[in-house]
Amino acid sequence: MKLLNLSFSEIEELVESLGEPKYRAKQLYQGLQMGKKIEEINISKDLKALLAQNGYTTGGVEIHEKFVSKIDGTIKYLYCLEDGNIIEGVLMHYKHGSTLCVSTQVGCRMGCAFCASTIGGLVRNLEAGEILGQVIAVNRDNMTKKERAVTNIVLMGSGEPLDNYDNTLKFLRLVSCPEGINISMRNISLSTCGIVPKIKELAKEKLGITLSLSLHAPTDEMRKDIMPISKAYALEETIDAMRYYVKETGRRVVFEYALISEKNDTKECAEKLAKLIRNMQCHVNLIPLNSVHESGLSGSSGNRVAKFREYLEKDGISVTVRREMGADISGACGQLRRSYLSKEVK
Ligand code: SF4
């Protein structure tokens, strides 16, 4: 059993079931949330022994390696899971705080053409405590006296969060728990490639998180080329699901659009995109694509990005262009893990 999968009240129940006083639950829970190992936590020797005898581990992640940008302090992490699998994440610093991009699966089975995370397929889902463990490990690594380092979270690392729905939902509840790390749902964004039934299920939870759709193409024909998920769900029903999310939650949704040179960055594409999302409470985030060596796709030039933005803004659509963070340690999502794995193989 893994302790980081448990909520505060479940830890209370566990401690009582082991015959220990309830107040020890708070010490145990707080120690875990600070990233301590069981042996480092200020609890009785008896409780430590009972936890060990009953096969409890923390179930978090260990930082295996990190790469710090000399330009803007962005940190890329490789984490090791208890079973030896490797995942990655990135901490980005902004004026308003620091955002941690977390992974929800080891690998991914969604097959997006521009993404390195999917090249080896899905290895396994992460448990809720392993997603939470990434936040805890980074907080511990960047400990300041006053505050925790991570103020915002994006579920945009390796894996499709809605393909690991139950663990993702559990993680969202654990990370926003007032007795724990207590990050507001409003400071969390979840990015999906568009699993329509799960978008609707999530909408009904009314969690207050921001939902982003990796859109990347304005027609079914083009999207099928780069995102196999669109063979299962047509663009129209995917956009309808996003409208439903807005209606149910009152939250503005985000469309992520990675600009691939000469493929989806033309004037015609911008016009089609504008038509698709017209009259929706939404925002478009343009992403100059990082080249993924294995895919043969290359990102649009600055000039083409600016033109695409202009076309959308003329139509009254709110647009930002994602700033490249940590250019000196760059690499598209999933590349760090892949280069680690290929080093291991050699
Ligand atoms: S972009 Fe996301 S959903 Fe698509 S393959 Fe990569 S990790 Fe999976």
Burial class (CB in 10 A: 0-12, 13-18, 19+), 344: exposed
- Tokens 């939404």 locate to 282
Ligand 1 centroid distance, CA of 337 (Å): 14
User: Rounded distance, CA 308 to CA 285, Å?
Assistant: 11
Spatial CA neighbour of 154 closest among 287, 50, 279: 287
pLDDT tens readout for residues 29-78: 999 999 999 999 999 999 999 999 999 999 999 999 999 999 989 999 99
Ligand 1 centroid distance, CA of 17 (Å): 41
Q: What φ, ψ does residue 330 adopt, rounded to 5°?
A: -70, 180
Nearest-10 Cα torsion for 177, 182, 183, 186: 60
Tokens of 325: 């963070």
Ligand 1 centroid distance, CA of 60 (Å): 23
Nearest residue (by CA) to ligand 1, atom 6, is: 115
The answer to whether the beta carbons of residues 3 and 59 sit under 8 Å apart is yes
Ligand 1 centroid distance, CA of 36 (Å): 31
Check residue 186 and give its pLDDT. 96
pLDDT tens readout for residues 154-176: 999 999 999 999 999 999 999 99
Ligand 1 centroid distance, CA of 28 (Å): 36
- Note if 333 is an active site residue: yes
Among 105, 110, 225, 338, residue to substitute to test ligand 1 (most atoms within 8 Å of Cβ): 110
- Note if 268 is an active site residue: no
Atom of ligand 1 at shortest range from CA of 105: 7
Tokens of 171: 């993680």
Q: Considering the entire predicted model, what is its pTM?
A: 0.93
Domain ranges for the chain: 3-53, 61-345
Among 103, 112, 333, 336, residue to substitute to test ligand 1 (most atoms within 8 Å of Cβ): 112
Q: What is the CATH number of domain 61-345?
A: 3.20.20.70
Query: Which is the catalytic residue, given 12, 20, 88, 130?
Result: 88
Which residues' Cβ are closer than 6 Å to ligand 1? 108, 110-112, 115, 117-118, 158-160, 193, 214
Instruction: Pick out the chain residues at pLDDT < 50.
Output: 344-346
Spatial CA neighbour of 80 closest among 126, 116, 115: 126
pLDDT tens readout for residues 221-235: 999 988 999 999 999
Atom of ligand 1 at shortest range from CA of 111: 5
Nearest residue (by CA) to ligand 1, atom 4, is: 112
Crossing angle of helices 196-205/165-175, nearest 10°?
30
Based on C-alpha coordinates, what's the Rg of the chain? 21
Check residue 323 and give its pLDDT. 78
Atom of ligand 1 at shortest range from CA of 214: 1
Q: What φ, ψ does residue 297 adopt, rounded to 5°?
A: -95, 145
Enumerate residues 6+ apart whose C-beta is below 8 A from 147: none
